[in-house]
Structure 1
Amino acid sequence: MREIIFDTETTGLDPRTGDRLVEIGCIELVDRRETGRSFHAYYNPERDMPAAAEAVHGLSIQFLSDKPLFADRIDELLEFLGDAPLIAHNAVFDFGFVNAELARAKRPILDMARMCCTVQMARKLHPGAKHSLDALCTRYGIDRSHRVKHGALLDAELLAHLYIEMTGGRQIGLGLASEAPAPAAAAASGHAPAAAPRAFREPRPHAATPAELARHAEFVATLNQPLWHDSP
């Protein structure tokens, strides 16, 4: 199954008040495995960049001023997304900005039925815990030491690793074979060959000896009001 992990960076928190999308990063998964294909773009927001937003992602209006408009690269983005499910962290936020840009360009918006939110997944898996991307990467042992500021492609890559772990880890794509693979096939597939059969051993005697039974009886006789004497 093909899935797309994506993340966005913006000028603020609400497209309804004039905030715009400035960066998107997408990672392709097939059967919960990264294929190496990605889509990444910066966009000129046609407005200023608030200092609070720039402090988060480091994208200045000077840097973005010569980048294409979102409308100029819509077809590339939509072709990459295809009809695959779309996974994002706090997905309502990201869907809201992408759909606002699509609507601005008078193009059909993304169907919200395609949305999968990893924050909602994390709340079900770890109720009461922190659900930020940083906190979840720490929980699942995902290295984020290179994440100094937010970046759409970097965050999408981290989220891809996180999503794989949250949905069963790397083994989710492994099937159970009815027969053990041959050694050559096992080596090629990464599976260890089946262990050699063990030699049969006769069971060792384990019944108590008469002397052991006598010692046990002597010990029981010394017990003061054992519980089994209270049984009806």
Structure 2
Amino acid sequence: MADERASTAAPLVLVVDDEPQIRRFLKTGFELQGFRIVEAGTAREALEVAVMRKPDLVVLDLGLPDADGASVLEQLRGWFDGAVIVLSVRNAETDKVALLEKGADDYVVKPFGMAELLARARVVLRRVVSRGAPEPVLRVGALALDLAQRIVTLNGAPVTLSPKQFALLRALGMHHGKVLTHRQLMKELWPQDPDEDVQYLRILMKKLRDKLEPDPARPVYLVTELAIGYRLRTQEQLDLTGYAEVMP
């Protein structure tokens, strides 16, 4: 049987939650936006459906009756190359960091708005489609990043970055819209010594923001996920914040 993802343009979303009313809520919200939906109420069912249907995106609740959702994530990442968004009432930074480092593309803390979840779903789905071949030029507000030519412009004017500053921006650009943890970035920037003091990363980010942000004290492009890491926002994420027209 041909891969279902190749048979239609409508993305297939696997919704995993043990509460039927939440599954109905998510099913309605996604279907209204043109997505196709399959459901699972347990960890075992989720893994079986993922194997059989090969979804583009898994929306995974952590509080499942037969296993913790984090273990489902680990098993999925053994073979599944689609996107995974975790839903959870857990808001602790340590939980979020662990999930991101286990392979979650994003997380949404309950309660949440459907508009936010749909926006995040579109972002991670675009990233999965372009995985291994990122967009040659990323544009967010007045900022443009040409990964191939190593050119950064702000409002059309070139910005000179140090090699480390560009490396940080490139790492975030390669995962455009996704949170990268401090440790993931440290491994990227200092592969020989990834356990170096994270303060070096914070200083590097401050210098990068000084060159790129309209107001470095209130960043809109390079945003902090408190105690977790950093994210380079997509245009869609920027629009959701109310900064649709950012000018330096």
TM-score normalised per structure 1: 0.25
Greater relative CO, 1 or 2 (CA 8 Å, sep 6+): 1
- Richer in strand (by share): 2
Q: Which of these two proteins has the greater Rg computed from alpha carbons?
A: 1
TM-score, normalised relative to structure 2: 0.23
